[in-house]
Chain A
Amino acid sequence: MSNDKFYEEISEAIVSLDKEKTIELANKAIQEKMNLLEVIEKGFGAGIRKIGDLWDEGEFFLPELMLGGTIMQESMQLLFPHIGTERDSISNGKVVIATIEGDIHSIGKTIVATMLSANGFEVFDLGADIPAEKIIEVAVEKNADVIGVSALLTTTMIGQKKIIEILESKGIRDKFKVIFGGAPVSNAWVSECKADGFAGSAVEAVNLVKNLLKI
Chain B
Amino acid sequence: MLFHDWLKNDSKIILFDGGMGSEIFKRGITPGKLPDTLNVDRPDIIFEIHKSYYDAGADMCQTSTFGSSFLNLQGYKIESQIKELNENALKNIKRACPPNRLIVGDIGPSGVFKHPVGKATAEQWVSSYVKQVNFLEKGVDLWHIETISDIEEMEAAIKAIREISKKPIISSMTYKKTKRGFFTIMGDSLEKCVRKQEDLNVYVIGANCTLGSDEMIGLIKELKELTDKPISAKPNAGQPRVDQNNRAVYDQPIKDFVNDIREIIKVGVKVVGGCCGTSPTTIKEIRKLIDSLEN
Contacts and interface: CB of A to CB of B under 8 A. Distances in A.
Interface string A64-92: 10110010000000000000000000000
A174 interface: no
B116 A103 contact: no
Interface stretch (A8-16, A133-141, A152-160): A152-160
Nearest to A161: B246
Interface string A174-188: 000000000011101
A62 B186 contact: yes
Interface in B18-68: 25, 29-33
Given A57-B178, A184-B240, A154 B246 contact: yes
B111 A156 contact: no
Contacts of A157: 31, 242, 246
A63 B152 CA distance: 14
Interface residues of B, number: 29
A188 B245 CA distance: 11
Interface in A86-135: 101-104, 107
A157 to B, nearest CB: 6
Contacts of A186: 241-242
Binding site secondary structure of chain A: loop
Given A57-B179, A159-B31, A154 B186 contact: no
A40 B19 CA distance: 46
Contacts of B30: 155
A63 B248 contact: no
A214 to B, nearest CB: 30
Contacts of A184: 240, 242, 248
Given A58-B178, A61-B186, A67-B116, A158 B31 contact: yes
A155 B32 contact: yes
Contact of A102 (B32, B149, B247): B32
B31 A156 contact: yes
A154 B117 contact: no
Interface in B231-259: 240-242, 244, 246-248
Nearest to A155: B31
A6 interface: no
Contacts of B184: 61
A155 B185 contact: no
B180 interface: yes
B25 A155 contact: yes
A192 B244 contact: yes
Interface string B171-201: 0000000111101111100000000000000
A208 to B, nearest CB: 19
Binding site secondary structure of chain B: loop
A154 B116 contact: no
Contact of A155 (B33, B180, B240): B33
B242 A154 contact: yes
A62 B113 contact: yes
B75 interface: yes
A66 B75 contact: no
Given A58-B178, A102-B31, A188 B242 contact: yes
Contact of A66 (B31, B116, B149): B116
30 contacts: A57-B178, A57-B180, A58-B178, A58-B179, A58-B180, A59-B180, A60-B187, A61-B186, A61-B187, A62-B185, A63-B117, A63-B187, A64-B187, A66-B116, A66-B117, A70-B116, A102-B32, A102-B33, A104-B75, A104-B76, A154-B242, A154-B246, A154-B247, A154-B248, A155-B25, A155-B31, A155-B33, A185-B242, A189-B246, A192-B244
Given A154-B247, A192-B244, A62 B31 contact: no
Contacts of B242: 154, 157, 184-186, 188-189
Contacts of A159: 31-32
Interface string A33-67: 00000000000000000000000011111111011
B75 A107 contact: no
Given A155-B29, A155-B32, A159-B32, A104 B111 contact: yes
B38 to A, nearest CB: 12
- Greatest chain B CB density within 10 A among A57, A155, A157, A159 is at A155
Nearest to B247: A154
Given A58-B180, A59-B180, A188-B244, 14 more contacts: A60-B187, A61-B184, A62-B149, A64-B187, A66-B117, A104-B75, A153-B32, A154-B240, A155-B33, A156-B31, A157-B246, A158-B246, A159-B32, A189-B246
